[in-house]
């Protein structure tokens, strides 16, 4: 049996040292540079925090619920967010960046619905602003804390002119008209 020779030196670098090593390829940034919540927190919040916040979000400002339709599955979803009223619409901070599923769903559909303060309203024209542009729209008391967070972006949603579609009623499974088979005795 012949021993296989390690092509790397004892330091772990290829022969010739670290200068000849290939550079690490990183995925391109999909968001503006700034502080972004780590990706693993998305999953933690989706599984735990969002489930706790969802019942309160539609009634406890500044929490709100964004109702959107999945761009791949067509399923209806609702996501709790912070939403601040601005002239003609709503401003939402994006601590997870601009590549979150709920934001991509809203952008693909061109809008959705926002439930805040117990009211549900149609929203349209979702657009992402960088922090500097958004600070002009943020209410005065919230500017300093949001600047300290250095968020990657903000979402602006306009109130839709169109009325909400009436929600479809959930259908109950109908009992079959065929008689049930009886057990043989």
Q: Where are the domains of the chain?
A: 39-44+61-159
Total-model pTM = 0.65
Tens digit of pLDDT for each residue in 56-93? 887 888 899 999 999 999 999 999 999 999 888 999 99
CA-nearest of 100, 99, 97, 111 to 69 is: 111
pLDDT score of 31? 46
| The CATH number of domain 39-44+61-159, selected from 2.60.40.10, 3.40.50.1370, 2.30.110.10, 2.40.50.140 | 2.30.110.10
Instruction: Identify the segments of the chain with pLDDT beneath 50.
Output: 8, 21, 29-32, 169
* Secondary structure in 3-state letters for 45-111: HHHHHHHHHHHHHCCCCCEEEEEEECCCCCCEEEEEEECEEECCEEEEECCCCCCCHHHHHHHHHCE
pLDDT score of 28? 52
């Amino acid at each position: 049996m012949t021993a296989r020779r390690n092509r790397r030196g004892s330091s772990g670098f290829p022969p010739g040292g670290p200068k000849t090593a290939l550079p690490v390829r990183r995925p391109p940034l999909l968001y503006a540079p700034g502080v972004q919540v780590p990706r693993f927190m998305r999953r933690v919040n989706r599984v735990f925090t969002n489930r706790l916040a969802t019942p309160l979000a539609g009634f406890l400002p500044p929490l709100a619920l964004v109702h959107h339709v999945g761009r791949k599955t067509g399923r209806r979803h609702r996501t709790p967010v912070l939403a601040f009223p601005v002239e003609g619409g709503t401003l939402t901070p994006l601590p997870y960046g601009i590549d979150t599923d709920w934001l991509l769903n809203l952008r693909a559909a061109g809008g959705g619905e926002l439930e805040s303060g117990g009211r549900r309203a149609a929203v349209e024209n979702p657009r992402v602003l960088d922090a500097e542009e958004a600070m002009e729209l943020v209410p005065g008391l919230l500017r300093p804390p949001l600047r300290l967070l250095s968020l990657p972006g903000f979402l602006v949603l306009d109130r839709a002119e169109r009325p909400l579609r009436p929600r479809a009623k959930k259908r109950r499974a109908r009992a079959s008209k065929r008689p049930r088979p009886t057990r043989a005795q």
